[in-house]
Structure 1
Amino acid sequence: MDALAPLIAASMNAGTPLMLAALGLLINEKAGVINLGSEGMMLVAAALGFAVTVHSGSPATGFLAGAVAGALLAGVFAWLTVWLGANQVACGLALSLFGVGASAYIGIPYVGATIQASSWGIPGLEHIPFFGPALFQHHPMVYGALLLCAALGYFLYRTRAGLVLRAVGESPESAHALGYKVRRIRLAALLFGGACCGLAGAFMSLVYTPMWVEGMVAGRGWIALALTPFATWRPARVLVGAYLFGGITILTFHMQALGVPIASQLLSMLPYLATILVLVLISRNVNWIRINMPASLGKNFNPNS
């Protein structure tokens, strides 16, 4: 039990950036837009969030900078795809490639720099045996991600605005005929998704690994993209998937520490192999994907055509 509590805590920490990014991408896809630029947005946000925190001494300001950076990059993506009608897949890949290079350049002065890691906990609960270390000694952003997951579930399935967003993702032509501004709704969804990816990137450099290292996101943006079909575009299932993949990541580290006679390179591949396996299993059931996937996902909409 003493060994299990740190494992649970580490899995929650590892799953939080995946959850934040995947929830943002889920809102994008519910609006009918697929943004493959999550990796690049997370990297830029991680670099900028760390830089701002180093100069300001305020992690909250660093998180804000990361969210703004992600939203701005998503805004550029929205301008290219929603207003100019550019291909969503090509623009998303370009955004990821841009983010890799831009973050490396921004982070040059901060390689090797560190920030003070603060201890957190919920008063009255953090010292409970087993449950305290496992569940109640996390950074506030961990609990913020859980609250965001619940709020998005309520928003999508219990509010009129959520119904409109889903309608835009299913049939933008019908939503436009009813008088809804499809482009503006998609822009809002993309800005929100970019901000969530920005928070995820800032979490990586400010909490998960409180330092800047080039390429530190290490494919988590792509895993977050895979989480949305894995979760059948439902927030609660995103939570389960994020913690599952986070747990697999942490398990590889524990296996290396325990001296399991498997090459460390092979162990490091486990989260990505799990991602591929999940996508293969999901893609085998075409009807299941068709039922759950937004009907207009990846399709541009021009209200003047």
Structure 2
Amino acid sequence: MTHVASAADVPVSESLEVAKVRSWKAPIAFAVFTIAAVLLFIVFSRDGDTTFKLSNDSDAIVLPPLVMSARGAGIVVTILLAVITGVSAWRTINYKNTWLWLVAVYVVLFLTGFFAWAAAGGTVPLPGFLLGTVALSAPLIFGSLGGVISERSGVVNIAIEGQLLAGAFTSAVVASVTQNPYLGLIAAMVAGMLVSFVLAAFSIKYFVDQIIVGVVLNVLVLGLTSFLYSQVLTSNTPLLNSPPRFQRISIPFLSEIPLVGPVFFRQTIIIYVMYVAIALVYWGLFHTKWGLRVRSVGEHPQAADTVGIRVNTTRFWNVSLAGAIAGFGGAYFTLGSVGGFTKDMTAGAGFIALAAVIFGQWNPIKATLAALLFGFATNLQNMLGALGSPVESEFLLMLPYIATILAVAGFVGQSRPPAASGQAYRKS
């Protein structure tokens, strides 16, 4: 009589082995970049030495510049990239994930080779480049933090763009009239919260589609601020559109650390608040009762209602909090960067922040890293243009969006939003 093996007859180790799944995303992405490195750094290599400037002349500790041959660096980097690609493929064959630190090493090596190739015969000012990356990422980080809070509570926040723009406009006007940038920050938070009030009222109380409300709010805020800028601010710029900017504050000792110090610890008060906000949102969402309530109404509002949590009230106030955070980020445009309001100055930053939320898998830390990626890509476009890179200007303009596609295709796993995100809750 033939014996039919049952589940109980299969050893646990074998059943676990069957359950393993290979993910070829990382090796395929590495292979694509390695082929690109072969083409750029070897086939179309450039002659000349590239100088990497590691510190400014005014820094307390001045590091000597790093000089490398563009052609030699390209060959060495390409070989190392190929080795890492092989290691990643080998681990995938053996049902093992690619180490995160290996991904980081790969990215650093590729960027080093790319900078050496693009700036052959020139100088790469690393402190200035990294400082610009943080500056361009700041509004995106505030917007993504607001988006994470809102979507974790179950409301899709398409209106981040409008919240950033409202915060930028209001902070410029209030700070100009009062000549107090701190009052401008408070006004920006209020403006962002007011935009969120409208989103919350229509989507939570009146069950209007959240996507439609968010899009309408973006168009409304853009039209209103553009009209007021053209009709009011331009005719009285000294009074209404000349806000004082925050000065950089150096943190003793930390600001003197070579390369890192001037970038992260010689910043304005808005950037320091950003550091605190990232930590607070992460800690609050995953280590406090408030965060548990927020995540519960976003994942399973019926269950949350059953244990006494007021679902719609929780959603309303958290969407408002998200708007205040995004509005605060909008103030960076006028009080920390540009120094005045201009028409449509956010230029789609809210939508990029929303993309960072998705790429960051609705996690504050990951969303922050995704926002930094977009800021890096945007600043890379600016720097390569200034260095006279051989890359065509049209391609440089596409860099932030190419980074988006590559992030999704290669380095971001499958994203699952909160189960009740975008769904109105009707109490039964």
Further displaced range: 201-210 or 269-278: 269-278
What one-letter code is carried by the residue in structure 2 that aligns with 1:133? P
* 8 Å contact kept, 2:173–2:243: no
In structure 2, the residue matched to 1:278 is 407
What is the rounded CA distance, in whole Å, between the counterparts of 2:330 and 2:293 in structure 1?
29
Please report how far the alpha carbon of residue 139 of structure 1 lies from its aligned counterpart in structure 2 after TM superposition: 0.8
Counterpart CA distance in 1 for 2:319 and 2:388 is: 44
Q: Distance in 2 between matches of 1:116 and 1:261?
A: 39
CA contact under 8 A between 1:38 and 1:197: conserved in structure 2? yes
Q: CA deviation at 1:277?
A: 4.2
Against the structure 1 CA distance between its residues 282 and 11, is the aligned structure 2 distance closer, same or farther, given a 3 Å change threshold? closer
2:423 aligns to what?
299
Q: Could you tell me whether the CA contact under 8 Å between 1:70 and 1:195 is conserved in 2?
A: yes
| Distance in 1 of aligned mates of 2:155 and 2:243 | 36
Using the alignment, how far apart are the partners of 1:237 and 1:203 within structure 2? 21
Q: What is the CA–CA distance in structure 2 between the aligned matches of 1:43 and 1:19, rounded to whole Å? A: 15
Deviations 1:15-49 (A, max 9, x none): 11111110011000100110211111211211111
Aligned residue pair count: 299
Q: Report matched runs for 1:1-305 at 5 Å.
A: 1-2=54-55, 3-108=125-230, 109-111=232-234, 113-117=241-245, 118-279=247-408, 288-290=414-416, 293-303=417-427, 305=428
- Residue 235 of structure 1 and its aligned partner are, at CA, apart by 1.1
Q: 1:179 Cα deviation (Å)?
A: 1.2
Q: Give 1:263 shift.
A: 4.0
Residues 280 and 83 (structure 1 numbering): CA distance in 2 closer, same or farther, change over 3 Å?
A: farther
Aligned-partner Cα distance in 2 for 1:195–1:265 = 36
Amino acid at match of 2:363: R
Deviation, structure 1 residue 110: 3.2
TM-score under structure 2 length normalisation: 0.66
State the secondary structure of the residue aligned to 1:126: helix
Work out whether residues 179 and 244 of structure 2, in 8 Å CA contact, stay in contact via their aligned partners in 1: no
- Mapped contact 2:133–2:379 kept (Cα < 8 A): yes
In 2 relative to 1, CA 179–214 (structure 1 residues): closer, same or farther, beyond 3 Å?
Answer: same
Point out which structure has higher relative CO (alpha carbons under 8 A, 6+ apart). 1
Shift of 1:214: 0.7
Identity percentage of aligned residues: 31
Query: Match of 2:352, as an amino acid?
Result: I
Deviation at 1:243, TM superposition (A): 1.5
Aligned-pair RMSD on alpha carbons? Answer: 1.9
3-state secondary structure, aligned to 2:415: helix
- The gaps in structure 2 that reach 5 residues or longer are 1-53, 56-124
In the alignment, the residues of structure 1 paired with residue 397 and residue 205 of structure 2 have an alpha-carbon distance, to the nearest angstrom, of 40
For residues 261 and 110 of structure 1, the distance between their equivalents in structure 2, rounded to whole angstroms, comes to 41
Shift of 1:213: 1.4
Residues 99-108 or 263-272, more deviating: 263-272
TM-score (norm 1): 0.92
